[in-house]
Structure formats: structure tokens, C-alpha cells
Amino acid sequence: MAGNQPTSEVQDFEGPARRRRKAVRYAVPVAVAGVAAATIGIGSALASTGDPDLPKISAQDLIAKMAQSDTQQMSGSVKINTDLGLPSLPSGLSFGDGGNKGEGKKGGSAPSPQSKLTELAAGSHTLRLAVDGPDKQRVSIVERAAEYSVVRNGDEVWAYDSSSNTVHHSKAPEAQRSHGKGAKDDVLPKDLGGASPQELAKKVLAAADETTAVTVDGTAKVAGRDAYQLLIKPKADDTTVGSIRIAVDAKNGVPLKFTLAAKGGGKAVVDAAFTKVDFGKPGAGTFDFTPPKGAKVTEGGAAGHDQKADRDHKADHKDGREGGLPGMLGMPGTDAAGAGKSKVLGKGWSSIAEFDAGKDAGSALNGKGAGKKSAGGKGGADAQALLDGFGTKVSGDFGSGRVYSTRIVNALMTDDGKVYIGAVTKDALVKAANAK
Amino acid sequence: MSRAETLPIGMPSLSLFRSEVTTTFRRWRTLALLGVLAAVPVLVGIAVRIETSRGGGGGRGDGGGGGGPAFIGQVAGNGLFLVFASLAATLPFFLPMAIGVIAGDSVAGEASAGTLRYLLVAPAGRTRLLLAKFTTTVLFAFAATLVVAASALAVGALLFPVGEVTLISGTTVSFGEGLLRALAIAGVVALSLTGLAALGLFVSTLTNSGIAAMATTVGLLITVQILDQFPQLSAVQPYLFPHYWLGFADLLRDPVYWDQIARNLGLQALYVAVFGSAAWARFTSRDVTV
């Protein structure tokens, strides 16, 4: 080849043969790019087909299989996509989305697990889990060049935020499991652990009753494992939940994928799936944690302050407290209320939680004269403008109020401070308020 | 002129490569680039040190996550993290800019200095010459990365305590394993620059002006970096060469999270294949008059 190289002498003679050779040469990079594009295209097409051939199974057997599943050890990666349709907040008032990591840590407070949890409420995240029995768990949120990990080893719970090099330490109360939401001051492992498909599926099954159609809908391959798909469809008309799909491992009954679709269609509201899973024993050092030198460590007692701040975030998904992942808000079966003065109207998927936020709160939020003033000066007006942007005004026999909506959960706050919240349509909320 | 005289006659490709390497690394420009790169960890280290002593002990933690390059919060506690922090600080711009200068200059610089046709008189062939140019650029990428890492390691060990390393997943490994991971990271960082090296080489074959080729390569780099920031372009971003650059941090997870690293290296290989062959097509079929 070396001998045929064009040299400066032939510059004036660009014959057809040379031109052809030139064209052939330029075809090489084009072909390489084309092959690469084709490979990427075919690769993703192949990945979406090829459902495994599995023996038929009834919905009941499949649920039993899940219930019987005694898998105690596993590790893997979970990809969570959430699109709750939460209004996007101006920067500085963020729900804690990835871009504003510094937010809320400025005061030197510990990395708050709750604010991390709300991060999962929007966008796409990768979690890595490792579980070894009931006492040892670990969940990490994979971030760009950083990681947020919660490690539970026996009664020690550590939360480590590598981006700010801060550590939060607390003790896991022994009675935590049996107490349920009683252990409010230590929700770390439970809440983050609740994001695993396993926990999500359990909650849904508890809620299934005559209001729900549960069927087995084909098979799927999740994280390289064969799985059955359980399809859960609410029968009620006025709920915003379209369907829930759970892919269950055909061998050991572990849920591998959880998809919550809104009735309105579009992208799944919550889509949590294992991308890699391993049912072997996680490495011994996985659950050990020693705070690194120079890291700022806060003890569990300080959590109260964080919690208060985060309650504001959670205001519009109060009933998410039990649900772990914010996507579970308003899921029937999760005790919507928690607080003493609230009650649940309706049943199953259409249940609506009602509680009294107090007259002042109602008028302040909804912009009635006095409330606005008491909110104080410019700050109050700004907050008012913000709230106006989120809510839509509604009125009915109950008076008037504002509806705050996401893709799944809607909330109605009346001017006299009553709050109705549920995974139901706006009309159902108004109807419930009118019935009072 | 002296450039052509140093070339042995009838050389096999290895000696062509060797002569390329010596001429590149003997240039003042190359040494200055490496010097600037070595200075970055020194600056970062001193800044963190001053900040730490003013904050009274390990108070660097608060607000550390708010800004600055990744890993900066951990530097005060463990000097080894200065390696990661410096690589994270130089990877978006300093390192690729240096690569852009070397790659852009590789062919076009010879053309503008008038030495290219002397190189082509030697019977080594254009393909081999191009290969030698590319290998030299990749070698420079490794050298530049290692210079940053070594300088950061020296400064880190000097100014901060070193010892067991807490990975970003919270697990602790020995200092030796930490060093190994640092070395692996330097390798991954160097390899993530190969896509840009091929791109620069292609640009370099398009023009006879070394300055134009360097400016175009660095300009492309900046443009692509900006495009990588727009959320509206998320569909094409996985195919932009700097998209997975910071993925080297995944080597600091436990267990190591390979997905992004594999994707990054695959993407770089794709860029090398496409732009490398484009450079070959252009260089072997073009007229060299200067």
C-alpha cells in the first residue's frame, strides 16, 4: 500500500480511478458509524422482545409464590424512574433534586434520609441494594461521582453522603418492625428499603380485594431472570391509578419489577426494576461502616430538625409516610391518615383521606385576605404566588378551595381548612367535599 | 527542517513511532502543558489545606457538597482523595485541552511547518505515519493523566494524612487497594480521552494550519461539553464523547459499578473507529503540497 501513496507530483492528475479509491476510503468511516448505529438499534430491539416461555400459573398461585418467598439474601441494582407530575419548583425551593445537593446541608446538618427520599420522586435513579437477613441491609443511591448510602448492621444505622462527606448515625429501635409507623424518628432503613420491588409488591397485595382485578399477564425477562407478570387493575372509575404490573421471579417468587401506570396513560408514574440481581450472600464487608477521617458525623438525635423541615416537602404526600417510595402515596391500604383527626372516606382505590388543617392554614394557603397578611410581607406574597401557580381553583357546595394535583395524587384544600387527598380524580374530591 | 533530518531512512514503524514520541515530548509546548497539569493538584491541595486550617480541623464537611469538583470534601481526611479530586477537576477541561492541542497539531502542525512532505518521502507510508501520530497522542494522554495523578499523590501525602480509604459507598479498604484503584482510575481517565484524540487527529488532517486544527478541536470539545448540559438533548447525550467521563468515580464504589465505565470505553472505541478511519481516508487520499 505504501508504494501507491499519492505524492505532490500527481496533484494535477486526479483521474477517475483515484477518485473512486478516495470514495471507497471515505466509505470506511461511514460504514463503521452505520454498523455501530445498527448494532445499537438491533440491540435495543432484541432486548425488548424474547419473553421467556414458562408454564402457565394462576394469579393466586403466583401471589402465594410471592408470599412464600423466603429469600433472605440478595444484592443487585435497581433502576427507578418516577414521573409523579409534581410541579417543578424554582431553584432554591427544590424538592431536593439532584442538582441542588448543597441545599439543606448548608447548616451543617446531617444528610437527611427524607430529603434523599424526595429526590427519588422525580427523574431516573439507580439504587444498589444488598440484603442479608432482617438485620443487615444496605441501600445506596448512585449519583454522579458520589453516592448516598444507608447501611444497617444490627441496631446500628449509618447514612453516608459522599458528596458532602457527612455521616448520620442512629440506632435502629428493636421494635421498629412491629411498631410500624410508630418508629417515626427512625424511618431510614424502612423508607429507603421500601423502594425495593419486594416491599412495593407486598403493599399492593395487601390492598387487593374485590375492588381489584388481579391477573397473570404473560411473562418477561428482568435482569436476566425469567419472570411472570402480575397485572393489577383497579375496578373503580374515579381512581387515577391505571394499572400496576409486578414481574415476579419464576423460580423464587421475588418481585423484580414494579410499574405503576396512571389512568391518563403516558409514561409510567413509577417504574422500579432490577437491572442486576444476585441471590447469593453479599460480601462480608458490605455491611461494615466506619466513619471516614475528617467526615462530619451527626447523631440520631439531630434528626428531629431535619424531619420538621422535610414535613413541608411531604405535605402533599402525607399518606406517603407508610408507603416508602413517594410513588406509593395514596395507595389504598396504606393507612392514609396517621394523624388523629383525620378519617378515610370511601373504600379501596377510591378512598379519600380527610383531615383538618385548621382554618388559618386553609385561608392562608388559599389566599384569603387575613391569611395573606399574617403570612407576612413580601415573603408571604411570594409564597402566595408560588402556591397560586400550583393549584387550580374549584368551587362547589362546600364553598371554594384549591386543587393541587400530580399524576396520581390529587388534593383539595378548602378555604375553611379541610384537606381531602387521595389517588382519585378531582371530581371525586369535590364530590367528597360536597357530601359533608 | 531538523525534524526531517532526525528520521532514520527505511525505518520500521517502531522507530517511526519512537521518533514521533521523542519529538513530541521534547517540545517546549508539551512540557509546558504537562507542567500546567502538574500544578493543578498543587493549587487544589493548598486551597483545601488553607480552608481546612481556617475552619478548625475537619470542618470541611459542611457545604462541601454544594460546589467544587467531586471528592473535594474527602481530601482533608485522606490525601489519596486529592488524586480523585484533581482528576475530576482537570478532566472536564484541562486534560482534554492538552490532548486537543497535541492531537490537533499532530498532522497539521507538520504541514504548516513544512515538514510533512519530508516525512512522506520516507517509505513508511501514510497509514503508518498516521498510526504513529495517533499512538503518540494516546501515549501523551496517559502521560498527562499520570502526571496529574502523581503530582496529586505527592501533594496529598505531603499535606494531608493518608491511610485506609473509605470508598464513596462507605466501605473501607486498605491504602494499597486505594492506590490500585487510583491507578485503575488514571487508566480509565486516559482511555476516556482516546475518542477526543481520534477526533483531533481527524481535524488535523483537514487543514494545513496547526493553530486552526488545535482551535477547532478545543472548540469542538467545549461545544460538546455544553451540549451535554442541556436536559432537552438527553436523547443524544449518551453518544457524546464526554458524557461518561466522570463515570471513573464508579471505580470507587463497592462493589465496583461497571455499567458506565463499560459504556464509556465502548463509546471511546466507537469514536476512535469512526474518526480514526475518517482521518485515514482523508490523509491517505489527500494531496500534500506543503
User: How confident is the model over A89-100, as pLDDT tens digits?
Assistant: 443 343 433 333
CA distance B42 to B63: 22
DSSP class of B286: S
> B70 CB near a chain A CB, below 8 Å?
yes
| pLDDT reported for residue A25 | 85
Low-confidence ranges of chain B (pLDDT < 50): 1-10, 56-66
Q: Are A6 and B285 an interchain contact pair (Cβ–Cβ within 8 Å)? A: yes
Closest in B77, B281, B288 to A294, CB measured: B77
Nearest chain A Cα to B76, which residue?
A: A294
Q: Could you say which residues from 252 to 281 on chain B have a Cβ atom under 8 Å away from some Cβ of chain A?
A: 253-255, 257, 259, 270, 273-275, 277-278, 280-281
How many residues can be counted in chain A?
436
Distance to chain B for A15, nearest Cα, Å: 12
CA distance A345 to A358: 19
> B49 CB near a chain A CB, below 8 Å?
no
| pLDDT reported for residue A62 | 84
Domain-by-domain residue ranges, chain B?
2-285
Q: Would you say A261 and A244 are in contact if contact means Cβ atoms under 8 Å apart? A: yes
What is the Cβ-side half-sphere exposure of residue A244, based on CA atoms within 13 angstroms? 29
Q: Are B170 and A1 an interchain contact pair (Cβ–Cβ within 8 Å)? A: no
| pLDDT reported for residue A331 | 39
Closest in A77, A158, A165 to B61, CB measured: A165
The pLDDT confidence band at residue A112, using thresholds 50, 70 and 90, is low
CA distance B203 to B212: 9
CA distance B56 to B76: 12
CA distance A59 to A231: 9
| pLDDT reported for residue B144 | 97
Q: Could you say which residues from 93 to 152 on chain B have a Cβ atom under 8 Å away from some Cβ of chain A?
A: 117, 120, 123-128
CA distance B78 to B162: 5
Q: What does the pLDDT look like over B5-58, one tens digit per residue?
A: 444 444 556 888 898 899 999 999 999 999 999 999 999 999 999 888 775 444
Helix, coil or strand: residue B172? strand
Please give the torsion angle defined by the CA atoms of residues B190, B191, B193 and B195, in that order, rounded to the nearest 10 degrees.
170
| pLDDT reported for residue A39 | 84
Please give the torsion angle defined by the CA atoms of residues B25, B29, B34 and B39, in that order, rounded to the nearest 10 degrees.
160
Strand A166-171 relative to strand A296-299, pairing: parallel
The pLDDT confidence band at residue A224, using thresholds 50, 70 and 90, is confident
Closest in A7, A106, A294 to B60, CB measured: A294
Q: What does the pLDDT look like over A179-208, one tens digit per residue?
A: 433 333 333 444 444 555 556 656 666 666
Q: C-alpha distances in angstroms, B226 versus A153, B86, B219?
A: 43, 21, 11
The pLDDT confidence band at residue A310, using thresholds 50, 70 and 90, is very low
Distance to chain A for B22, nearest Cα, Å: 24
Q: Are A146 and B249 an interchain contact pair (Cβ–Cβ within 8 Å)? A: yes
Q: Are B287 and A8 an interchain contact pair (Cβ–Cβ within 8 Å)? A: yes
Closest in B76, B168, B281 to A29, CB measured: B281
Residue B205: Cβ-neighbour burial (10 angstroms; 0-12, 13-18, 19+): buried
CA distance B100 to B214: 6
Q: Which residues of A touch B166 (CB under 8 A)?
A: 290-292, 295
Closest in A3, A10, A105 to B65, CB measured: A105
Residue with cell 525534524: B3
Interface test with A, best of B16, B62, B202, B283 (most A CBs within 10 A): B62
Q: Are A165 and B172 an interchain contact pair (Cβ–Cβ within 8 Å)? A: no
For the cut 60, the answer to whether the pLDDT of residue A101 exceeds it is no
Closest in A158, A290, A293 to B161, CB measured: A293
Q: Are A290 and B88 an interchain contact pair (Cβ–Cβ within 8 Å)? A: no
The pLDDT confidence band at residue A290, using thresholds 50, 70 and 90, is confident
Q: Are B285 and A162 an interchain contact pair (Cβ–Cβ within 8 Å)? A: no
DSSP class of B166: E
| pLDDT reported for residue B290 | 61
- To 5 degrees, how large is the angle CA A262–CA A267–CA A273? 95
> B159 CB near a chain A CB, below 8 Å?
no
Q: Which residues contact B147 (CB under 8 A, 6 or more apart)?
A: B34, B37, B38
Q: Which residues of A touch B284 (CB under 8 A)?
A: 5, 25
Q: Would you say B132 and B22 are in contact if contact means Cβ atoms under 8 Å apart? A: no
Strand A352-356 relative to strand A343-345, pairing: antiparallel
Q: Are B281 and A26 an interchain contact pair (Cβ–Cβ within 8 Å)? A: yes
Distance to chain A for B244, nearest Cα, Å: 10
CA distance A220 to A227: 5
Q: Would you say B215 and B156 are in contact if contact means Cβ atoms under 8 Å apart? A: no
- SS3 of chain A: CHHHCCCHHHCCCCCHHHHHHHHHHHHHHHHHHHHHHHHHHHHHHHHHCCCCCCCCCCHHHHHHHHHHCCCCEEEEEEEEEEECCCCCCCCCCCCCCHHHCCCCCCCCCCCCHHHHHHHCCEEEEEEEEEEECCCEEEEEEEECCEEEEEEEECCEEEEEECCCCEEEEEECCCCHHHHHHHCHHHCHHHHHHCCCHHHHHHHHHHHCCCCEEEEEEEEEEECCEEEEEEEEEECCCCECEEEEEEEEECCCCCEEEEEEEECCCCCCCEEEEEEEEECCCCCHHHHCCCCCCCCEEEEHHHHHHHHHHHHHHHHHHHHHHCCCCHHHCCCCCCCCCCCCCCEEECCHHHCEEEEECCHHHHHHHHCCHHHHHHHCHHHHHHHHHHHHHHCEEEEECCEEEEEEECCCCEEEEECCCEEEEECECHHHHHHHHHCC
Q: Which residues of A touch B61 (CB under 8 A)?
A: 108, 164-166, 294-296
Return the higher-pLDDT residue of A107 and A161: A161
CA distance A373 to A375: 5
Q: What does the pLDDT look like over A6-55, one tens digit per residue?
A: 444 444 455 677 778 888 888 888 998 898 888 887 777 766 666 788 88
Q: Which residues of B touch A29 (CB under 8 A)?
A: 273-275, 277-278, 281
Q: Are A158 and B170 an interchain contact pair (Cβ–Cβ within 8 Å)? A: yes
**Sign of the torsion angle spanned by Cα atoms A180, A184, A185, A186:** positive
| pLDDT reported for residue A178 | 40
| pLDDT reported for residue A53 | 83
Q: What percent of chain A has pLDDT over 90?
A: 6
Q: Are A28 and B285 an interchain contact pair (Cβ–Cβ within 8 Å)? A: no
| pLDDT reported for residue B252 | 92
Q: Which long-range contacts (CB under 8 A, 24 or more apart) does B24-31 make?
A: B24/B102, B24/B136, B24/B140, B25/B140, B25/B143, B29/B101, B29/B105, B30/B102, B30/B140
Helix, coil or strand: residue B165? strand
Helix, coil or strand: residue B223? helix
Q: Which residues contact A318 (CB under 8 A, 6 or more apart)?
A: A336, A338, A339, A353, A421
For the cut 60, the answer to whether the pLDDT of residue A1 exceeds it is no
Residue with cell 465502548: B266
Q: What does the pLDDT look like over A140-168, one tens digit per residue?
A: 998 888 888 989 888 888 889 888 888 88
CA distance B222 to B270: 20
CA distance A295 to B61: 6
Interface A-B: count of C-beta contacts within 8 A? 175
Average pLDDT, chain A: 71
C-alpha cell at A189: 432503613
Q: What does the pLDDT look like over A318-348, one tens digit per residue?
A: 333 333 333 333 334 334 334 446 788 877 7
Q: Which residues of B touch A77 (CB under 8 A)?
A: 257, 259
Q: Which residues of A touch B77 (CB under 8 A)?
A: 165, 292-295
Q: Are B77 and A28 an interchain contact pair (Cβ–Cβ within 8 Å)? A: no
C-alpha cell at A16: 477517475
Q: Are B62 and A164 an interchain contact pair (Cβ–Cβ within 8 Å)? A: yes
ipTM surpassing 0.85: no
Distance to chain B for A59, nearest Cα, Å: 35
Q: Are A293 and B77 an interchain contact pair (Cβ–Cβ within 8 Å)? A: yes
CA distance B62 to B65: 7
| pLDDT reported for residue B153 | 96
Q: Could you say which residues from 185 to 244 on chain B have a Cβ atom under 8 Å away from some Cβ of chain A?
A: none
Per-residue pLDDT, averaged over A378-399, amounts to 70
Q: Are B166 and A295 an interchain contact pair (Cβ–Cβ within 8 Å)? A: yes
Nearest chain A Cα to B280, which residue?
A: A25
Q: Which residues of B touch A106 (CB under 8 A)?
A: 62-63, 66
Per-residue pLDDT, averaged over A403-425, amounts to 85
Q: Where are the alpha helices (DSSP H) in B125-257?
A: 126-159, 175-192, 194-206, 210-227
Residue with cell 505527592: B154
Q: Which residues of A touch B277 (CB under 8 A)?
A: 28-29, 32
CA distance A315 to A429: 17
| pLDDT reported for residue A83 | 83
DSSP class of B8: P
